[in-house]
Amino acid sequence: MNGAELTGQVRTHITDIAEPPCALHAHVAAPFLNLRRAALDAGFDLAPVSSFRDFSRQLQIWNAKFSGEKPMLDASGRLLDAGKLTPRERVESILLWSALPGASRHHWGTDIDVIDRRAGPPGYRPQLTPQEFAADGPYAALDEWLEAHAAEFGFFRPYRGVRSGVQPEPWHLSFAPVAENARRALLPAVLRKAIEESPLLGRDEVLAQLDALHARYVAAIDWP
Protein backbone atom coordinates (compact mmCIF):
# COMPACT_ATOMS: atom_id res chain seq x y z
CA MET A 1 0.00 0.00 0.00
CA ASN A 2 1.15 3.53 -0.75
CA GLY A 3 0.91 6.46 1.66
CA ALA A 4 -2.52 7.58 0.48
CA GLU A 5 -3.90 4.05 0.91
CA LEU A 6 -2.27 3.61 4.31
CA THR A 7 -3.88 6.82 5.60
CA GLY A 8 -7.31 6.19 4.07
CA GLN A 9 -7.18 9.07 1.62
CA VAL A 10 -7.96 6.81 -1.36
CA ARG A 11 -9.67 3.43 -1.72
CA THR A 12 -7.77 1.97 -4.67
CA HIS A 13 -6.92 -1.09 -2.53
CA ILE A 14 -10.55 -1.74 -1.53
CA THR A 15 -13.19 -4.06 -2.92
CA ASP A 16 -16.90 -4.03 -2.02
CA ILE A 17 -18.74 -7.14 -0.84
CA ALA A 18 -22.51 -7.38 -1.26
CA GLU A 19 -23.29 -9.91 1.49
CA PRO A 20 -22.59 -9.23 4.18
CA PRO A 21 -22.27 -5.56 3.13
CA CYS A 22 -18.72 -4.39 3.73
CA ALA A 23 -15.62 -3.00 2.04
CA LEU A 24 -12.29 -4.77 2.48
CA HIS A 25 -8.80 -4.87 1.07
CA ALA A 26 -8.77 -6.88 -2.16
CA HIS A 27 -6.58 -9.54 -0.52
CA VAL A 28 -8.74 -9.76 2.61
CA ALA A 29 -12.17 -10.33 1.05
CA ALA A 30 -11.72 -14.04 0.33
CA PRO A 31 -10.19 -14.91 3.74
CA PHE A 32 -13.00 -13.07 5.49
CA LEU A 33 -15.68 -14.88 3.51
CA ASN A 34 -13.97 -18.18 4.37
CA LEU A 35 -14.07 -17.21 8.05
CA ARG A 36 -17.73 -16.28 7.69
CA ARG A 37 -18.61 -19.62 6.08
CA ALA A 38 -16.94 -21.49 8.93
CA ALA A 39 -18.81 -19.34 11.43
CA LEU A 40 -22.11 -20.06 9.67
CA ASP A 41 -21.40 -23.79 9.91
CA ALA A 42 -20.88 -23.28 13.64
CA GLY A 43 -24.19 -21.42 13.99
CA PHE A 44 -23.05 -17.79 13.86
CA ASP A 45 -24.07 -15.12 11.37
CA LEU A 46 -20.73 -13.30 11.41
CA ALA A 47 -21.18 -9.82 9.96
CA PRO A 48 -19.21 -6.57 9.99
CA VAL A 49 -20.53 -3.50 11.74
CA SER A 50 -17.57 -1.55 10.37
CA SER A 51 -14.98 -2.39 7.74
CA PHE A 52 -13.02 0.08 5.55
CA ARG A 53 -13.27 3.61 6.90
CA ASP A 54 -11.69 6.49 5.00
CA PHE A 55 -9.73 9.45 6.36
CA SER A 56 -12.68 11.83 6.04
CA ARG A 57 -14.97 9.65 8.14
CA GLN A 58 -12.31 9.16 10.81
CA LEU A 59 -11.75 12.91 10.83
CA GLN A 60 -15.46 13.51 11.40
CA ILE A 61 -15.43 11.14 14.37
CA TRP A 62 -12.32 12.75 15.84
CA ASN A 63 -13.47 16.35 15.44
CA ALA A 64 -16.93 15.58 16.84
CA LYS A 65 -15.37 14.08 19.97
CA PHE A 66 -12.74 16.80 20.33
CA SER A 67 -15.40 19.52 20.13
CA GLY A 68 -17.76 17.75 22.53
CA GLU A 69 -20.42 17.18 19.86
CA LYS A 70 -19.97 13.41 20.19
CA PRO A 71 -19.58 11.65 23.57
CA MET A 72 -16.07 11.15 24.89
CA LEU A 73 -15.44 8.37 27.44
CA ASP A 74 -12.72 7.61 29.94
CA ALA A 75 -11.02 4.22 30.26
CA SER A 76 -13.87 2.85 32.37
CA GLY A 77 -16.53 4.01 29.93
CA ARG A 78 -17.73 7.02 31.92
CA LEU A 79 -18.80 10.15 30.08
CA LEU A 80 -16.32 13.05 30.06
CA ASP A 81 -17.00 16.77 29.72
CA ALA A 82 -14.82 17.88 26.80
CA GLY A 83 -15.11 21.51 27.88
CA LYS A 84 -13.27 20.76 31.12
CA LEU A 85 -10.33 19.02 29.43
CA THR A 86 -7.14 20.55 28.08
CA PRO A 87 -6.26 19.85 24.42
CA ARG A 88 -3.75 17.21 25.56
CA GLU A 89 -6.35 15.54 27.77
CA ARG A 90 -8.86 15.51 24.92
CA VAL A 91 -6.33 13.84 22.60
CA GLU A 92 -5.49 11.21 25.22
CA SER A 93 -9.16 10.50 25.95
CA ILE A 94 -10.17 10.15 22.32
CA LEU A 95 -7.33 7.75 21.59
CA LEU A 96 -8.56 5.33 24.23
CA TRP A 97 -11.45 4.39 21.94
CA SER A 98 -10.94 6.02 18.52
CA ALA A 99 -7.94 6.11 16.20
CA LEU A 100 -6.21 9.23 15.01
CA PRO A 101 -7.28 10.07 11.43
CA GLY A 102 -4.66 8.59 9.14
CA ALA A 103 -3.71 6.00 11.76
CA SER A 104 -6.84 3.84 11.85
CA ARG A 105 -6.29 0.20 10.91
CA HIS A 106 -9.70 0.43 9.21
CA HIS A 107 -8.05 2.61 6.54
CA TRP A 108 -6.20 -0.46 5.31
CA GLY A 109 -9.30 -2.57 4.70
CA THR A 110 -7.68 -5.32 6.76
CA ASP A 111 -9.66 -4.73 9.95
CA ILE A 112 -13.32 -5.30 10.70
CA ASP A 113 -15.62 -4.94 13.69
CA VAL A 114 -17.89 -7.98 13.82
CA ILE A 115 -21.01 -9.26 15.56
CA ASP A 116 -23.30 -12.26 15.35
CA ARG A 117 -26.47 -11.07 13.61
CA ARG A 118 -28.39 -14.00 15.09
CA ALA A 119 -27.61 -13.01 18.67
CA GLY A 120 -29.54 -10.60 20.85
CA PRO A 121 -33.28 -9.94 21.06
CA PRO A 122 -35.28 -8.71 18.03
CA GLY A 123 -34.33 -5.17 17.13
CA TYR A 124 -31.16 -5.25 19.21
CA ARG A 125 -28.67 -2.54 18.22
CA PRO A 126 -25.01 -3.46 18.76
CA GLN A 127 -23.07 -1.02 20.91
CA LEU A 128 -19.63 -2.64 20.48
CA THR A 129 -18.79 -2.72 24.16
CA PRO A 130 -16.66 -5.28 26.05
CA GLN A 131 -19.76 -6.22 28.06
CA GLU A 132 -21.46 -7.54 24.91
CA PHE A 133 -18.65 -10.06 24.47
CA ALA A 134 -18.39 -10.97 28.17
CA ALA A 135 -19.72 -14.23 29.58
CA ASP A 136 -23.27 -12.91 30.02
CA GLY A 137 -23.32 -10.77 26.86
CA PRO A 138 -25.15 -11.50 23.59
CA TYR A 139 -21.89 -12.18 21.75
CA ALA A 140 -20.24 -14.38 24.37
CA ALA A 141 -20.52 -17.52 22.24
CA LEU A 142 -19.11 -15.73 19.19
CA ASP A 143 -16.24 -14.43 21.33
CA GLU A 144 -15.35 -17.97 22.37
CA TRP A 145 -15.57 -19.27 18.81
CA LEU A 146 -13.39 -16.49 17.40
CA GLU A 147 -10.82 -17.05 20.11
CA ALA A 148 -10.58 -20.68 19.05
CA HIS A 149 -10.81 -20.37 15.25
CA ALA A 150 -10.06 -16.87 13.88
CA ALA A 151 -6.33 -17.56 13.61
CA GLU A 152 -7.01 -20.54 11.34
CA PHE A 153 -8.07 -17.99 8.70
CA GLY A 154 -5.32 -15.46 9.35
CA PHE A 155 -7.24 -13.15 11.70
CA PHE A 156 -6.28 -11.93 15.16
CA ARG A 157 -7.38 -9.33 17.71
CA PRO A 158 -4.92 -6.40 17.78
CA TYR A 159 -6.49 -4.69 20.80
CA ARG A 160 -6.58 -6.83 23.94
CA GLY A 161 -5.62 -4.08 26.37
CA VAL A 162 -2.11 -5.40 26.97
CA ARG A 163 0.49 -3.69 24.77
CA SER A 164 -1.49 -1.04 22.91
CA GLY A 165 -2.86 2.14 24.47
CA VAL A 166 -6.25 1.31 22.94
CA GLN A 167 -8.86 -0.19 25.25
CA PRO A 168 -9.80 -3.87 24.69
CA GLU A 169 -11.92 -4.39 21.55
CA PRO A 170 -12.98 -8.05 21.34
CA TRP A 171 -15.08 -7.25 18.27
CA HIS A 172 -12.08 -6.00 16.27
CA LEU A 173 -10.48 -8.52 13.90
CA SER A 174 -7.42 -7.94 11.73
CA PHE A 175 -6.07 -9.97 8.82
CA ALA A 176 -2.44 -10.42 9.83
CA PRO A 177 -0.75 -11.19 6.47
CA VAL A 178 -1.75 -7.81 5.00
CA ALA A 179 -2.20 -5.70 8.14
CA GLU A 180 1.28 -6.36 9.50
CA ASN A 181 2.90 -5.06 6.32
CA ALA A 182 0.70 -1.96 6.53
CA ARG A 183 1.55 -1.37 10.18
CA ARG A 184 5.26 -1.43 9.41
CA ALA A 185 4.83 0.88 6.41
CA LEU A 186 2.80 3.51 8.28
CA LEU A 187 5.80 5.45 9.59
CA PRO A 188 5.43 8.68 11.59
CA ALA A 189 6.47 10.73 8.56
CA VAL A 190 3.62 9.27 6.47
CA LEU A 191 1.10 9.99 9.21
CA ARG A 192 2.47 13.50 9.81
CA LYS A 193 1.98 14.44 6.16
CA ALA A 194 -1.68 13.38 6.23
CA ILE A 195 -2.39 15.26 9.46
CA GLU A 196 -0.59 18.45 8.46
CA GLU A 197 -2.84 18.75 5.41
CA SER A 198 -6.10 18.18 7.33
CA PRO A 199 -8.47 20.37 9.44
CA LEU A 200 -7.89 18.18 12.49
CA LEU A 201 -9.02 19.74 15.77
CA GLY A 202 -6.10 19.72 18.20
CA ARG A 203 -3.68 19.35 15.30
CA ASP A 204 -0.84 21.30 16.93
CA GLU A 205 -1.06 19.19 20.08
CA VAL A 206 -1.13 15.97 18.04
CA LEU A 207 1.84 16.95 15.88
CA ALA A 208 3.85 18.02 18.91
CA GLN A 209 3.71 14.49 20.32
CA LEU A 210 3.18 12.50 17.14
CA ASP A 211 6.18 10.18 17.54
CA ALA A 212 5.02 9.13 21.01
CA LEU A 213 1.42 8.69 19.86
CA HIS A 214 2.58 6.60 16.91
CA ALA A 215 4.64 4.37 19.18
CA ARG A 216 1.77 3.77 21.58
CA TYR A 217 -1.26 3.59 19.31
CA VAL A 218 0.08 2.43 15.92
CA ALA A 219 3.29 0.50 16.44
CA ALA A 220 2.17 -1.22 19.65
CA ILE A 221 -0.46 -3.91 19.17
CA ASP A 222 -1.38 -7.14 20.89
CA TRP A 223 0.22 -9.61 18.52
CA PRO A 224 -1.03 -13.20 18.81
Domain ranges of the chain: 3-219
Q: What is the pLDDT of residues 71-115, one digit of tens each?
A: 888 887 788 888 888 999 999 999 988 999 999 999 999 999 999
Alpha-carbon gap, residue 28 to 40, rounded angstroms = 18
Q: What is the pLDDT of residues 6-45, one digit of tens each?
A: 999 999 999 999 999 999 999 999 999 999 999 999 999 9
Alpha-carbon gap, residue 48 to 30, rounded angstroms = 14
Question: What pTM value is reported for the model?
Answer: 0.93
Give all strands (DSSP E) within the chain, no chain letters: 14-17, 22-25, 46-50, 72-73, 79-80, 111-116, 155-156, 172-175
CATH topology (fold) of 3-219: Muramoyl-pentapeptide Carboxypeptidase; domain 2 (3.30.1380)
- DSSP-assigned letter for residue 84: G
